[in-house]
Amino acid sequence: MKHLLDTASLSREEAIAILDIAEEMTQVSEREVKKLPVLRGRTVVNLFFEDSTRTRLSFEAAAKRLSADVLNFSAKGSSVSKGESLQDTIQTISAMGADALVVRHAGSGTPHRLAHTGWIDVPVVNAGDGTHEHPTQALLDAFTLRRALGGFSGSGVVKDGPRGRGLDGAKIAIVGDVLHSRVARSNVHLLAHLGAEVHLVAPPTLLPWGVETWPVTLHYDLDEALHSGDYAAVMMLRVQHERMHESFFPNEREYARLWGLSAARLAGLPKETFIMHPGPMNRGFEISAAAADSPRALILDQVENGVSVRMAVLYRLLTGQEETND
């Protein structure tokens, strides 16, 4: 695996290998000294052309825990604001000795372009590109769910843990603004590769063109969808107002009433159903405070596990190894 650009091209075996490495990295994160020397002398550059808190800090923490040097680039206040092209920016940073680039950009396909134009010859990690994909978010979601379920199969919970396993038989609902969500796209592909049964729940106006060809079951009514079977997890998506230039639903109150995970809907879910959200959350809009703060919510687990998963991705890309030798 040379780059991590999307989950659509990530095989089941590659995904499980990354999740298994992340299990090892979680043990490192629980030590008093949270460091491994495996990337000592390497330089990881975080190129963020979009605002971010969780993803940027998570990648920075991951690289530092692997003993890599980290350079953080933000488009604000850089030469980009003076008109410098993407090519010149990338080649300038590469000339400083970058060994890997973590790229977040508003333009869909930008990480793919960097990986295949020949401007650079180092691993590229997609940290979110436009409305296309966000592969490490999907990996940390799958990792969090796999751990919470303890290794799930259609017949029940597997007692020997999640290592080496996918999410075969797990039923997952992804609810909300699918149209503008790169997280939803990455999760659909990855969860399907891992054997999960994926259900998308959204108003027709917030579903992308061609969604009928995705490996999912579509629902347009949230209450009907939630009563259609037992879900291992319900993942709520943030409504991305900043990407909306038209009216996709009447108003916020109407959206919350029809599509939000209210306290009443939470109470109607099976006690074994976990609640997920990629963050940041709009409390009282797509998710109620009762759901966000529920003991069943895995939202903070997702944030915590993001560091281990990104450690696994950087380790795999920069060393080419599938397992750690501590």
- Verify that 176 and 290 share a domain, yes or no: yes
186 part of a folded domain = yes
- Verify that 244 and 314 share a domain, yes or no: no
Is 265 annotated to bind a ligand? Reply is no
Is 146 annotated to bind a ligand? Reply is no
- Verify that 140 and 211 share a domain, yes or no: yes
Number of domains in the chain: 2
Is 64 annotated to bind a ligand? Reply is no
The tens digit of pLDDT for each residue in 252-267 reads: 788 888 889 999 999 9
Is 132 annotated to bind a ligand? Reply is no
324 part of a folded domain = no
- Verify that 80 and 93 share a domain, yes or no: yes
CATH number, domain with residue 244:
3.40.50.1370
**Cβ neighbours for 45, distance < 8 A, ≥ 6 positions apart:** 70, 71, 72, 73, 93, 96, 98, 100, 101, 102
Full domain range(s) for residue 92: 12-133+303-319
Is 55 annotated to bind a ligand? Reply is yes
Is 238 annotated to bind a ligand? Reply is yes
Q: In b/e form, how buried is each residue of 4-33, taking b as 16+ CB within 10 angstroms? A: bbbbeebeeebbbbbbbbbbbbbebbeeee
273 part of a folded domain = yes
The tens digit of pLDDT for each residue in 207-237 reads: 999 999 999 999 999 999 999 878 999 999 9
The tens digit of pLDDT for each residue in 66-79 reads: 999 999 987 765 56
- Verify that 48 and 107 share a domain, yes or no: yes
- Verify that 158 and 241 share a domain, yes or no: yes
Is 182 annotated to bind a ligand? Reply is yes
- Verify that 308 and 283 share a domain, yes or no: no
Contact criterion met (CB below 8 Å) for 46 and 22:
no
Is 227 annotated to bind a ligand? Reply is no
Is 134 annotated to bind a ligand? Reply is yes
- Verify that 35 and 23 share a domain, yes or no: yes
Which token pair is 308?
A: 């281990």
Please state the pTM of the whole predicted model. Answer: 0.91
4 part of a folded domain = no
Spans of the chain below 50 pLDDT? 152-159, 243-244, 326
73 part of a folded domain = yes
pLDDT of res. 154 = 46
- Verify that 63 and 160 share a domain, yes or no: no
Measured CA to CA, the distance from residue 193 to residue 196 in angstroms comes to 8
276 part of a folded domain = yes
- Verify that 291 and 168 share a domain, yes or no: yes
1 part of a folded domain = no
pLDDT of res. 73 = 85
- Verify that 83 and 181 share a domain, yes or no: no
Contact criterion met (CB below 8 Å) for 261 and 300:
no
- Verify that 197 and 181 share a domain, yes or no: yes
Is 316 annotated to bind a ligand? Reply is no
